[in-house]
Structures are given as C-alpha cells and as structure tokens.
Structure 1
Amino acid sequence: MAYILIGFLALLSFYMITALTSWYRLRRFPGPILATFSWIWLTFACQSGRSDEIYLAMRRKYKAPLIRIAPDFLFTDNAEIIRHINGARSPYVRDDWYRGFTVNPYVPSMLSATDEKTHNFLKSKTNPGYYGRDVPGLETGINSQILSLKSYIRDRYISTATQLKFMDLGKAIEYYALDAITMVGFGKEWGFLRADEDLNSFIETVSTVAPFIQLCTDIPFARNLFMSKVMLKLVGPKYTDKKGFGNLMRVSREAIEKRFGGEPGKGQDLLESFMRRGLSMAECEAEIPTLVIAGSDTTAGVIRSGLLHLMTSPKAYHRLQAEIDDAIGTGKVSWPISHVEARELPYLQAVIYEAIRINPPNQILMPKVVPAGGDVLLGKYRVPAGTKIGVNSMAVQRDTAVFGDDVDLFRPERFLEGPTVEKRLEMERQVDLSWGYGRYICSGKLVAQMELNKVFFELLRDFDFQLVNPQAPWTRRLHIVYFVKDMWVKVTERDKVQSAER
C-alpha cells in the first residue's frame, strides 16, 4: 500500500511540476485556463464539430493577436505574423501536427511531410502540374465536369410548373468536386455525378473518420499513438478495403500501376506530370489520394457556402446574375466561360472573394515551430523556442480593421467599394491568406480558383436556386473540412440570354 501511495504522489508531483513549467513558459499569453496546463480544451474544441466558431469566439473574447490554446501552442489571426512565419526565408518549420495526415508510414506526401527538404522536393516536383505548365488540358478537364454537373441538375432535379422536385445541393456539389479533382488527378472522373450516389461509401467513410484524423493532427498523444508505423499497419486504411479511403488508395494505385507499367499517358493529368518530373510509384501513391481529399472538400466548402449566402442575399444574387447576363449578351464570354474571361468580371470576382472570406477553405491550424533562440513578434511578443504557432483562419477573415465592422455580413460590394485602391488590395491580400503564404502556399490554388470562377458563373447562367427551408438551410459540422447534409433547394431553368455574337 505504501508503494502505491508513493507512486501516486510521485506521479502527482511530476504532473504538477510539468503543468507549472508549461504554464510559466507562455504565461503572458491569454487563453482558456485548461489550455495553460493540459490539452483538454483543444481536444474538446477540435471534436466539437464547430471549432471555427469556438476559435473565432476566443479571438473576440481575449482581443489579442496571439492566444494560448494548449500548453505549448498559440494561434494567431494577425496577417503580419502569418506572413513572417511562412515567408520564403523564415526559419520556422512544420510541426509534427502534419504527421496526422500520414497514409503510408514510410512514404510522406507533400501534406504529411515535416522534413523541410522532403516537403520542398515534393513541392518542386508537383507544382508544374498543379500550375498547369505540364497539364495543358487542365481547364478542359474542369469544363467537362462543370457540364456534367449542369446535366446532372437538368436531367434529374429541375422543377417545372407541373412537377416539383427538391435537390440536396450540398451532395451535388460534393459529387461534382470529387469528379472534377479525379479528372484532373488521373484523367478520368470517378463517376459520382453519373451514378448519383456515394460510390463505395467514400463520403460516408471520410465523414466518419474525419473527427479521428483531426484528433490525431491536433493532439500529440493521439498522433504519437495512432500514427505510429505499428498502428497504421494494424488499423490504417488498406488497399484491399472495398469502401472509403482504402478504396481510393486502391483506385489510385491501379491507375498509377498502369502508367508505370507502360500505359501511354495523354499528358492531360497531374499523375502524368508527377511521373514526368521524377516522382516514384510509391510517392505518387502517397500524393494522389491526399490530392483527392484536399482538392475536393475545400473547394466544395466554398461553393456550398457561397451559394447559400447568395440565396439568402437577394441583392447580391440578382446583381451577379445581371453581370452574367450582360457578359453573355455582349459576347464577352464563351461557353463554358473560360478562366481568363471570368477574371474580367468584377462582381463575380467580388462574390468569390467574399465566399472565401465568409467561409475560408482551410480551417485547420497548420502550426509551425518557433526556431532556436525564440522570436519576438510584432516587436513586443517574445515567444520561446519550440512553441507551436497555428492559424485562426476564421478570425483572419473577420478582422474589422481590414474588412470593416460588418465582417459577419455577406457583402461582396466591399471588394469594389473600398475607399482606396490600396484598401481593396489589402482586403484581397487578407483573403488570399486562406490559401497559405510563401513556401507553404496551397499548390492547388490555381485549380480551385479555376473551379470557383466557372461554377458560380455557369450555375447561375442556367438555373435559379431557392432554399426549401431558409430557417434551417443545412446540417453542417467541421472536422478538418466541412461536412454538409440536407441542403435542400428547388431548382428552375432560367430563360437563355442570347449572345450578341450569334
């Protein structure tokens, strides 16, 4: 009994000393009390399904550019700090947090790599594809899936004067995003739109495991336990799985094996580019599944939120449609609209900026580690070496000093009516932080922007959307990405505007 008591007291003493040490290191930074000595607060926040709201509330409560969310973890919404940390010559490095996205414990992807040399190598080899230099058919592939989405709506869900139909817009956009990214990734869409179903329960499985993945990214104990090589071998996704992420790995492997086995590539997809630039088969197998998840859900989140806010903002909805009709009527745009043409439509661009601002595509913390010797931020905040600093993405886009007091309002006009050109550019640069910055900028940014330019224009070119239940427009939760259900809308066909060129 005495030994048990001594052991208990020793453990208690160790915990108290550790907790006191943790508190002392970052004692000058505000945050929840639980966060000063434990990971309990962050665990509850990341598992709540609404961490974006919680993090924004923290910023508004503590009114500080750096807030403590765990014993050695701060997050920030300050643009200057974010640019400083992520700049090209910054000594900050990726935290082990990124290992939470590990698929193959022996082969890192660009997302899961924590070694800077490995990350930079993978980025240099994949960027020519992502930015279209190696994939001349990038836009053509996206166009094909935009047209598939329009056919999906027109063939199945159009309401008429004699027939009423409801469509789950959230599901439709998810199907489109997956088909678009698989077309871009390995030259053939997966076929969600064609089947009008969750193929191999992929979306359901990802939705189920996402809270666990977020736990493994945000909480070191969970990450070290479950992302170990042994645990990944035992319980991780496998190529033999018939459903979910394992099935995506299998489909990706089959396409990759065919290419490496001599099947001629058409030079029209990212896989062909990755191979041409020297990625091994194993590296491609790690990269492609990550591309599908990251490249579909983030884009789908912006599209769904943007359409929702347009439907609940009649002034913005009708102004965008008026610009679309004018562009068609004056012959300024082709069919479907090109990326270059879309960038010349000011209100469309304002809507896209506002859609990203109101619902940033990345709501994950993405922490970097303070280098040896520590750092002084904004000239006055001394941060010890080894401290993790993440990004409070929602708060970045709710900065009243940048966007004005009406930051919670969907108002695209703010990007057109700023008092000066410099102010409008400042707002755009702030929104662009949603894609990352410097050496950590999102490689898929161009693909996502191309999709956004086309989707909003083409859907409102042909259709009118009306929410079935404006008081409860959807069911949504956040775990790494947003998962949306029951976004029911009524869709009707618009009268066609004839181009002046015809």
Structure 2
Amino acid sequence: MIARADTTAITLNTALYYSLKQPIIWQRLKSEIPSQDSKSSISATSYKNSRNFPYLNAVVREALRYHPGVSMLLERNVPEGGLNLPDERHVPAGCVVGMNPYVLGRNKSVFGEDADTFRPGRWLRDEELETEEEFQQRLHLMNNRDLAFGGGSRICLGKHLGLVEVYKVLATIISRYGISFVDPTRECFFVRQSGIKLKLSSRT
C-alpha cells in the first residue's frame, strides 16, 4: 500500500533540486514546456503530452540514475544448483546476492567519465559527435544498467504508475509556476531528502 509514495517523491525532489542548481538545465526545461496560467481550470498536463518533451524525459531519467529512490542492494536468493558468474566463480545456493542501483548508476564505463555529475544530456543524442545508430547503442547500454526500479521478473510493479505521476507533476508545475530556492543549501531503505524549501510564483 505504500508503493510509490517515497520513491516518487524522491524522484521529483531530485529532478527539481538538481535542475534548479544548474540554471542552464532549468531554463531549458522552461523553454521546452509551454507556460500555463496557474489559475487556469485546465487539468494537469496529461501523461501523453508530458512524454512529448525530450528534455523533460532526459531530466527524469537522469534523476532516477543519479539519486535512485532505493539505494541499497536489491537482494535475490541464489536458487538450487548455485550461480556461475561470468568470471567462472561459483556462488552456492542459498546465498544472498544483489546490486546497488546507486553504485551501478555511477559506472563510468556505462554512463561516461562524468557519471558523478547530474547531466541530463547523456540521455539525448549528441548530433555533432554520434550517429543515430551509435546513440541507440549507447542508450541500450544505459537502459540495460538502469536498476532504479529493479529488473527482470522482479521489477517494481508500481514502475509505470510512478512514472506517470512523475512526468505529469513535473510538467504541470513547470508549466504553471516559477520556482526558486528559498535556501539553496541541502542537506534505511529509502534515501529521503530533507530541507529543500522552494518558492513558487505564477508563470503568467
């Protein structure tokens, strides 16, 4: 029953915080998403429309990579017969194994030498440096190493609903409000953020 509450909030917090910390990112988001009267009776931005914003998508993907909601091992029990690793080591049955989404998201061989930097552009094609085929290969590699929602048969059941919420909320508040830090400083299983105070004003 608590699914999505913490992870969705963490993703929204991360996307907003790191975008606001880098004005170039925030300005690009604002220029991509049309402004809308905050007092308008029009409903929130639809999920379908929010997915039409490539840079918003890049920011969400980067937030999930850079600060995944779950930052501890995603544990699995080795089944009968054990597990043979690619380097030929054998893990006996009954052992608990897992990968850490936070650590995996910092893998420089996958996400680049600047993996410790919040850079949404890594999820977009660099038209000056790579062909579409090269970009798709790089994107495929990053997608295969993305464990923000787990992976395989045990992937988070709430993944799609959580993403609907993240995209709709981000697109809606960016379209309706000017946002700035009140105080630009920042300070278990979920890695919760605290102390991020924002000031909202109508964009129109």
TM-score normalised per structure 1: 0.36
Give 1:20's aligned residue. none
Residue aligned with 1:464, SS? strand
* Residue 299 of structure 1: how far off its partner (Å): 0.6
Deviation per CA, 1:192-219: give whole Å up to 9, x if none: xxxxxxxxxxxxxxxxxxxxxxxxxxxx
Residue aligned with 1:484, SS? coil
Ranked by relative contact order (alpha carbons within 8 Å, sequence separation 6 or more), the top structure is 2
Give 2:120's aligned residue. 412
The CA RMSD over aligned residues, in Å, is 1.9
Deviation per CA, 1:265-288: give whole Å up to 9, x if none: xxxxxxxxxxxxxxxxxxxxxxxx
Superposition pairs for residues 445-456 of structure 1, below 5 Å?
445-456=159-170
Instruction: Indicate whether 1:338 and 2:46 are aligned.
Output: yes
Cα distance in 2 between the residues matched to 1:386 and 1:437: 20
Residue aligned with 2:180, SS? strand
Residue aligned with 2:34, SS? helix
Deviation per CA, 1:350-373: give whole Å up to 9, x if none: 111011111112223231122233
Superposition pairs for residues 168-317 of structure 1, below 5 Å?
291-292=1-2, 294-317=3-26
Deviation per CA, 1:85-122: give whole Å up to 9, x if none: xxxxxxxxxxxxxxxxxxxxxxxxxxxxxxxxxxxxxx
Cα distance in 1 between the residues matched to 2:194 and 2:118: 22
Asked if structure 2 preserves the Cα contact closer than 8 Å seen for 1:468 and 1:488, the reply is: yes
* Structure (1 or 2) with the larger CA radius of gyration: 1
Question: Given the alignment, which residue of 352, 376, 382 partners 2:90?
Answer: 382
Cα distance in 2 between the residues matched to 1:491 and 1:394: 30
Cα distance in 1 between the residues matched to 2:71 and 2:43: 34
Residue aligned with 2:33, SS? helix
Residue aligned with 1:482, SS? coil
Instruction: Indicate whether 1:422 and 2:137 are aligned.
Output: yes
Residue aligned with 1:483, SS? coil
Q: Which runs of 4+ in 1 moved over 3 A?
A: none
Q: What runs of 5+ residues in structure 2 fail to find an aligned partner?
A: 37-41
Which amino acid in the other structure matches residue 320 of structure 1?
Answer: L
Cα distance in 1 between the residues matched to 2:140 and 2:53: 17
Q: Which has the higher helix share?
A: 1
Identity within the alignment, %: 31
Which amino acid in the other structure matches residue 144 of structure 2?
Answer: R
Superposition pairs for residues 120-139 of structure 1, below 5 Å?
none
Asked if structure 2 preserves the Cα contact closer than 8 Å seen for 1:313 and 1:410, the reply is: no
Asked if structure 2 preserves the Cα contact closer than 8 Å seen for 1:353 and 1:428, the reply is: no
Instruction: Indicate whether 1:359 and 2:67 are aligned.
Output: yes
Residue aligned with 1:368, SS? strand
Cα distance in 2 between the residues matched to 1:435 and 1:486: 25
Which amino acid in the other structure matches residue 30 of structure 2?
Answer: Q
Which amino acid in the other structure matches residue 176 of structure 2?
Answer: D
Asked if structure 2 preserves the Cα contact closer than 8 Å seen for 1:363 and 1:481, the reply is: yes
Higher alpha-carbon deviation: 356-365 or 417-426: 417-426
**Count of paired positions:** 192
Asked if structure 1 preserves the Cα contact closer than 8 Å seen for 2:149 and 2:159, the reply is: yes
Cα distance in 1 between the residues matched to 2:144 and 2:203: 35
Asked if structure 1 preserves the Cα contact closer than 8 Å seen for 2:72 and 2:102, the reply is: no
